[in-house]
Structure 1
Amino acid sequence: MEKYKDKTLPPEERARDLLGRMTLSEKICQLSTQIIFDVSGDEYRQKRDFRLGSFRNPGHFMHWKDKKTSSPSEVARFINEDVRKTVGASRFGIPPIENGEALHGAQWGMATCFPQPIALAATFDKELVSGVARIIGKEVAAAGVRQVFAPVVNVSRDCRWGRTMETFGEDVLLCSDMGEAMCRGFQSSGVIASPKHFVDNYADGGRDSNESHSSWRTLYEVYLPPFKRCFQAGGAASVMAAYNAVDGVPCSCSRKLLTGILRKEWGFDGFVVSDYNGVRDVCNAHQIADSEAKATAMCIKAGLDAPLPNSCEKNVLEAIEKGYLTESDVDRAAGRILKAKFAIGLFDEPYVNEDTIDGFVRCEAHKKAALNAARQCLVLLKNDGVLPFDRSAVKTVGVFGKGADTVPVGDNYSGPYQGWRADDAYTPLGYLKEFLGGGVKIITGTDEQIPQLAPGCDICLYFTKMLEGEGRDRCNIRLSGEKRTSDIKNAGGMIVDQAKAESGADQESAIVAMAKANRSCAVILLNGAPIDMTGWIEDVPAVLEAWYPGEQGAQAICEALFGLIDPCGKTPMSFPKSVGQLPLYYSFKPSGRGYHYNENDGKPLFEFGFGLSYTQFRIDNVSCFAHDDGLTVEYDIVNTGNRDGAEVVQIYLQSRNCGVVRPVSELKAYRKTRLDPGEKKRVAIKLGAEAFSYYDEALDYGMFDGDHTVMLGVSCSKILQTFEVSVRDGRLYVG
């Protein structure tokens, strides 16, 4: 038996044996991919090149023309046909990798749709997020998709960036934890995780894909760590290179990034894909190559393996003919892709069961998990005693805002053409009607009618609506108004960034009018990034940040508003008072003279890690002690209120006398603890040597001598206890 057919051999050995049997053309095909937008029977089959190594799965585009939603079994049948014909077209029966997006759910319709990543980050719950990714992975794998372009682990420190909703926020540790958790979940389901976009991905002003101005120190301290964790702890077997340039070199052809850091420093042994047309743009956008063949060669030699989204066969052959590439370069890239196919069992089980998938995808257990995630992500930003509403005392409810009549899923991924639909998914308005029953009157109207309608209601709710996402970077972080919405253009895929951060004149005026007409009111934010609320926040008594909480979000929101659950999420980003503060993040480095803009004090409206509760917690008996491999912080936490709830205790570090400038505060650990009324728990949080390690002046990493303040709190600003810690000769000392 040929070695590549022997299931008992390691993937590397099977791939090496198969590679040695292949022609140059066959190897190049393994580097090549294909995306077809118009998927309609024979037309699709005529366009598909079944010699190629991977395909953008057809489920995403099956109903491009008729705007319908694909069922899981339809997707599975189409993918099985893809695989069957590809295996048949290969002398060695090599199956393709079907890939696609799975940011917070499978990219084709009728799959379970979880909260957006920014909302998942607000849970501060790594195991919950890993479980979410595990379900997503199982659903996509059931349809035959074996590689997902997720998670997004770019650290977002400017909320004007339109893709902030795809990220886990501003903090390095939180992004690393959540990215690792998602990669573990995907990979454990037999799906290749491809964290993206390596690296940085946005520039000054939140402009997507613009050249990174980050120094190598900033990259090593902020933007690279989440990727490193995805590979070394999350097991991610692939990565997507970013469009932007770093230090003058596009990421797709940066040997320092793709070979020096990724493989030599971190030991990554997976394969690298480009972002869509990222290789072509080395020539056409960055203009550092005079042909696509030269650009392709530059990228492959730098360490990139698969240029997405279309075949690179012509360019690779031309590059070899002109001496830009050698066959050994192709062997290296093709070998990595073949190894990945063997590692996930694609050769051994290339097909999926078309008959059982409809009963599995979006099953009751998965919808229940989506509901739990939605409940955990809600952040109570303001409550002047209005919430929770008394359900028994409410007879008339005013429901306003365009977000009330939209299923709050946000973009199912960042594409402008992607929809999501399920007949049993509720809008907030729809679920309120079910939740409150026929005995309660629901009054709706336009924003202009609020002054007339709101006074006659027992309570009023305003659900916001934003326009944001890929291609919609904002010059404005206000709530979108009608004029603002019509003014935003997505010109041929160009990114229109957001220079302001406010909530939009129309929605802001409506919110203020509601609050003036009826003080028993609340604003529910449906958005993917922090917004400027200073134009109306003082007027309203309650604000619930719901993000885009997914297909079960309407139920979670209603439960929180009426006290069936306690909103226990925490902000994964700082909320600004004005656009002039941006970029705004808590872990900044000290200023040489400490100046801020004259118009504000530099403090956020709501700080990182902030979130209110319907109950109260007491944290005391805090202790800190060192041991050989780090230190441990212990504390008692008691729920002193009359409702069950959860609190996230956060450990921050402030470092001094370290030889290099360190941030004023860095999150180093956190623990979410759920407690019944009156319940008390003793909790221990361990900080290893990693928490006290940093890059010195020479960019060498380690735990060097220095002094640190360990700070325990419930947000980055609300610190309850501190301890002084020093490092001397590799040992930690408390006090």
Structure 2
Amino acid sequence: MTDQSPARHTEPGPRTSADPAARRADGPPHDYAAVVERALGALDLDTKARLLSGQDMWSLPAVPAIGLRSLVMSDGPIGVRGRQWSAEDPSVALPSPTALAATWDPELARRAGRLLAQEARRKGVHVLLAPTVNLHRSPLGGRHFECYAEDPLLTGAIGAGYVRGVQDGGVGTTVKHFVGNDAETDRFTVDNRIAPRPLHELYLAPFEHIVTHARPWGIMTAYNQVNGSTMTEHHHLVSEVLRGDWGFDGCNVSDWTAARNTVRALRAGLDIAMPGPRTVFGAPLAAAVRAGEVAESEVDAAVRRVLLLAARTGCLDGVPPAVAPSDVPPVIDGRAVARDLARRAVVLLRNEPVAAPGGGARPVLPLDAVALRRVAVIGAAARDARVLGGGSATVFPEQVVSPLAGLRAALPDDVEVVFATGADPRTRVPHAREGFALHARYLTAEGRLLTETPQFDGKVQVLGSFPDGVTRQELHAVELTGSFTPRTTGTHTLAVAGAGRLRLTLDDRVLFDGDGAGTAGTDPFEAFMQPAEHRIAVELTAGHEVALTLRFVPHGLGLGEGLDALNFVLGHGEPQLDGDAEIVAAVRAATEADVALVVVATTEEVESEGFDRTDLRLPGRQDELVARVAAANPRTVVVVNSGSPVELPWREQVPAVLLSWFPGQEAGAALADVLLGDHEPGGRLPTTWPARLADAPVSTVTPTDGTLPYAEGVFIGYRAWQRTTTAPAYPFGHGLGYTRWEYVSLDATPDSVWVRLRNTGDRPGREVVQIYLAPADDTPGAPERPTRWLAGFATVEAGPGESVETEIPLPGRAFEIWSEPDDGWRRIPGRYTVAAAHSSADVRLTAHVTAG
């Protein structure tokens, strides 16, 4: 055996100007203040007030007189949409944030951020509206796929890496949603009642970590209230904590339409009210100054921060941007990064031995491609992959590699790959994609063509601004037109949806001509994104191309003044048997195969923005499908394609279970890499997976009379599971690999931990070393604390038989609690157990330290 040189893994502290990375994040070593003051002094009151208000959905106004260009923002977090949020300009689609957190690798998050900065620059975007660092308080949170984890340290570390990466590329970030936006139910109005200790130890902690270690240029304040005040008007948390205690010097941007009161928002510390042009700032703010309700000096303070953001992003003349063009990272291959992130995020939940063809038993994964003759790939999500979450996290990638396509491309030509739907969980017809060649034509009432754009699929969407050459005044209709070549003969399902007049023709036959409508819902964003669907059955022949056009005349062209909006959909479903017959066909395919791969998934009706989940079950008959396939083939592998936890009642009936999250555009290629053993499944769970929703310690996300008490205090996630007698299906930090690790030694001081490990398997591997801290003795007067809590982590790699050592700092905060009587952090002295662990429930080595 050979020993590798010790590998140091540290979380950097606040950086100094001597560090080039610090200069990229905080700005070059020259003074912005003089340029900002000169620009501010040239502005009148009305212009200053206008600068604090969006001019449209995504941008701030330009002021040429002072050399200020329009600053453009765009949603992330897994891609960069740009101003138009349409398929006209495709975006790289990375894996979901839960997948990124599953890597437990802040440097990988930084790599993702650098790619997104490259995408932002390509699309003319100066500020990315990401990352989302709210916590997984309850598994029912409908938008948890867009957040990272249930633990504040893991969330903060991944978020800091992401922010550093984006800002390395000269693009700003707005860390969101500050704070307490941990569920979607009544998100515009809910008052989350959070006691000071959990507020600081849990929910504020990721924001504090990122502000301290990555110096973000922006923060986005949330819709919700915290302890009686909406976050856009929360003076204590914004001005006293964020700006005062933490020293945040960036811009505070409202969530879209979250700002509600001119005076209270400005005095609380809000700098930018989005979107425009009609907001509580702008003209109403200028009027408030003239009426004596606020001082112009208060407006000036906000404008200074906006001008600083403009300077950092290169939008203000007279000063170089924070990152010079020569310092921008080299060009990054987006597809390669998307594939690498996806495969590093895969969590191998289970991998039990099964009988091998030559005798004996071995884990079913990785698959031996040489020994395979036939593989059954089963599940609607295997062919029509769900690669990203719904809502504002949606982007339009240029291409998507499905699990079916990825596996077919990776396996030798003599291996037969058979597909069966088995059970389709979708309640809506999927967007037209495979076999379609489409483009969108924007037309005036007289039929004059304004512009024409390519379409990735059958969803035509605009939110913010129409394509170049199109105005709200001239636009009358949009035609989605092109051709479709079916791959199967039979009864196909076409679907149309949109709030307006819809007319679908196929080879000059009118299949539908009628009015569509938006779905009723309490969340207007949800209603806009999910218009009511109308289905049409049509007989088609495989290989016979047909021409089609879906003409849409919308009832309206906006979601308010200046907010251009359009959304209509052409859906397509392949011919299908009835539900029972589809499962029977899948079981038959599995019976005749060497291995059966079942891909199960959630849908946009289950996980998306605007609503929370009501249960954790996989939709449709997918649980039944897995159980019946497993009974038919003992070599069944299940891939779970969801952004957050789902119940897996069949998990002990199958030998192997993989979690791929929402894996981004290279989903299938990455999955094939892991299944065939070309890459280690290196992911670890960033959140606990319960066996049943009923077991989850926190399951209340619905407010009562507008209020949601966080009654569990500091006990969420694994901290809460430690207090129960019920074990979860899979604990926080869990994940298997294709090799074995021996934890050889552990040395610890109150400042650092050193762990030595040895790869005792026959393959190269990757391990995430997790360090947990726990009180070793009762400390008189100490408040109730979790059994143990995450205090640090590091990733290590080693070849077969090799050893590796890693140093992991113990931050001083790990020994502190928020003391409510003192209203501040208090160190709890005493003896502590330091645990080096494979997961929160799998401690390998322990040592003791004494904190003074």
Q: TM-score, normalised by structure 1?
A: 0.79
Which of 772, 782, 791 aligns to 1:652? It is: 772
1:521 positional shift: 1.2
1:510 positional shift: 0.8
Question: What does residue 296 of structure 1 align with?
Answer: 262
Which of 207, 216, 221 aligns to 1:227? It is: 207
- Distance in 2 between residues matched to 1:590 and 1:394, nearest whole Å: 41
Say whether 1:530 aligns with 2:645. Answer: yes
Question: What does residue 421 of structure 2 align with?
Answer: 446
Task: Summarize the alignment of residues 377-526 of structure 1 with structure 2, pairs less than 5 Å apart.
Answer: 377-384=345-352, 385-411=363-389, 414-415=391-392, 418-423=394-399, 425-447=400-422, 448=583, 449-468=585-604, 495-526=610-641
Q: Which amino acid aligns with 2:224?
A: N
Kindly indicate whether the alpha-carbon contact (under 8 Å) linking 2:223 and 2:231 is maintained by their aligned counterparts in 1.
yes
Task: Summarize the alignment of residues 93-242 of structure 1 with structure 2, pairs less than 5 Å apart.
Answer: 93-108=67-82, 109-202=89-182, 210-242=190-222
Closer, same or farther: CA 545–272 of 1 in aligned 2, 3 Å: same
Closer, same or farther: CA 706–208 of 1 in aligned 2, 3 Å: farther
- Distance in 2 between residues matched to 1:206 and 1:473, nearest whole Å: 17
- SS of structure 2 residue aligned to 1:197: strand
1:700 positional shift: 2.1
Stretches of structure 2 that go unaligned for 5 or more consecutive residues are 1-27, 83-88, 353-362, 423-582, 699-715
Question: What does residue 250 of structure 1 align with?
Answer: 230
Closer, same or farther: CA 438–209 of 1 in aligned 2, 3 Å: farther
Task: Summarize the alignment of residues 259-658 of structure 1 with structure 2, pairs less than 5 Å apart.
Answer: 259-280=239-260, 295-311=261-277, 312=279, 313-348=282-317, 365-384=333-352, 385-411=363-389, 414-415=391-392, 418-423=394-399, 425-447=400-422, 448=583, 449-468=585-604, 495-533=610-648, 535-583=649-697, 585-588=716-719, 601-624=725-748, 626=749, 630-655=750-775, 656-657=778-779
Kindly indicate whether the alpha-carbon contact (under 8 Å) linking 1:162 and 1:206 is maintained by their aligned counterparts in 2.
no
Q: Which amino acid aligns with 1:106?
A: V
- SS of structure 2 residue aligned to 1:467: coil
4+ long deviations beyond 4 Å? 203-209, 349-352, 360-364, 583-587
1:350 positional shift: 11
1:437 positional shift: 3.9
- SS of structure 2 residue aligned to 1:159: coil
1:466 positional shift: 1.0
1:15 positional shift: 1.1
Q: Which amino acid aligns with 1:192?
A: G
Kindly indicate whether the alpha-carbon contact (under 8 Å) linking 1:635 and 1:683 is maintained by their aligned counterparts in 2.
yes
Higher strand residue share = 2
Kindly indicate whether the alpha-carbon contact (under 8 Å) linking 2:406 and 2:671 is maintained by their aligned counterparts in 1.
no
Per-residue CA deviations over 1:246-283 (Å, capped at 9, x if unaligned) read: 01111110111111111111111111011010013xxx
Q: Which amino acid aligns with 1:619?
A: Y
Stretches of structure 1 that go unaligned for 5 or more consecutive residues are 1-6, 37-53, 57-85, 281-294, 475-489, 729-735
Closer, same or farther: CA 126–419 of 1 in aligned 2, 3 Å: closer
Kindly indicate whether the alpha-carbon contact (under 8 Å) linking 1:118 and 1:528 is maintained by their aligned counterparts in 2.
yes
Question: What does residue 672 of structure 1 align with?
Answer: 795
- Distance in 1 between residues matched to 2:415 and 2:32, nearest whole Å: 62
Kindly indicate whether the alpha-carbon contact (under 8 Å) linking 2:77 and 2:97 is maintained by their aligned counterparts in 1.
yes
- Distance in 1 between residues matched to 2:421 and 2:335, nearest whole Å: 32
Q: Which amino acid aligns with 2:740?
A: Q
Q: Which amino acid aligns with 1:526?
A: N
- Distance in 2 between residues matched to 1:390 and 1:473, nearest whole Å: 35
- Distance in 2 between residues matched to 1:209 and 1:638, nearest whole Å: 52
Which of 786, 793, 809 aligns to 1:663? It is: 786
Q: TM-score, normalised by structure 2?
A: 0.69
- Distance in 1 between residues matched to 2:127 and 2:184, nearest whole Å: 31
- Distance in 1 between residues matched to 2:299 and 2:99, nearest whole Å: 41
Task: Summarize the alignment of residues 17-56 of structure 1 with structure 2, pairs less than 5 Å apart.
Answer: 17-36=38-57, 55=59
Kindly indicate whether the alpha-carbon contact (under 8 Å) linking 2:600 and 2:641 is maintained by their aligned counterparts in 1.
yes
- Distance in 1 between residues matched to 2:755 and 2:30, nearest whole Å: 50
1:505 positional shift: 4.5
- Distance in 1 between residues matched to 2:159 and 2:813, nearest whole Å: 18
Question: What does residue 512 of structure 2 align with?
Answer: none
Q: Which amino acid aligns with 1:308?
A: M
Closer, same or farther: CA 338–699 of 1 in aligned 2, 3 Å: same
Q: Which amino acid aligns with 2:760?
A: T
Specify which structure has the bigger relative contact order, considering alpha-carbon pairs within 8 angstroms and separated by 6 or more residues: 2
Q: Which amino acid aligns with 2:55?
A: Q
Per-residue CA deviations over 1:511-535 (Å, capped at 9, x if unaligned) read: 11111111111110111001111x2
Q: Which amino acid aligns with 2:684?
A: K
Closer, same or farther: CA 504–126 of 1 in aligned 2, 3 Å: same
- Distance in 1 between residues matched to 2:403 and 2:186, nearest whole Å: 30
1:361 positional shift: 13
- SS of structure 2 residue aligned to 1:724: strand
Kindly indicate whether the alpha-carbon contact (under 8 Å) linking 2:233 and 2:268 is maintained by their aligned counterparts in 1.
yes
Question: What does residue 843 of structure 2 align with?
Answer: 719
Compare 366-375 and 153-162 and name the one that shifted more: 366-375
1:393 positional shift: 1.4
Closer, same or farther: CA 204–90 of 1 in aligned 2, 3 Å: closer
- SS of structure 1 residue aligned to 2:651: coil
Alignment RMSD (CA, Å): 2.7
Kindly indicate whether the alpha-carbon contact (under 8 Å) linking 2:80 and 2:116 is maintained by their aligned counterparts in 1.
yes
Per-residue CA deviations over 1:122-144 (Å, capped at 9, x if unaligned) read: 11111111111012112212332
Closer, same or farther: CA 378–264 of 1 in aligned 2, 3 Å: same
1:445 positional shift: 1.9
Compare 100-109 and 17-26 and name the one that shifted more: 100-109
1:150 positional shift: 0.6
Closer, same or farther: CA 203–455 of 1 in aligned 2, 3 Å: closer
Kindly indicate whether the alpha-carbon contact (under 8 Å) linking 1:122 and 1:379 is maintained by their aligned counterparts in 2.
yes
- SS of structure 1 residue aligned to 2:839: coil
Closer, same or farther: CA 325–219 of 1 in aligned 2, 3 Å: same
Q: Which amino acid aligns with 1:16?
A: E
Higher helix residue share = 1
Compare 541-550 and 138-147 and name the one that shifted more: 138-147
Kindly indicate whether the alpha-carbon contact (under 8 Å) linking 2:682 and 2:767 is maintained by their aligned counterparts in 1.
yes
Count of matched residue positions in the alignment of Structure 1 and Structure 2? 619
Per-residue CA deviations over 1:362-411 (Å, capped at 9, x if unaligned) read: 97733222222112111000111211111111111111111112345313
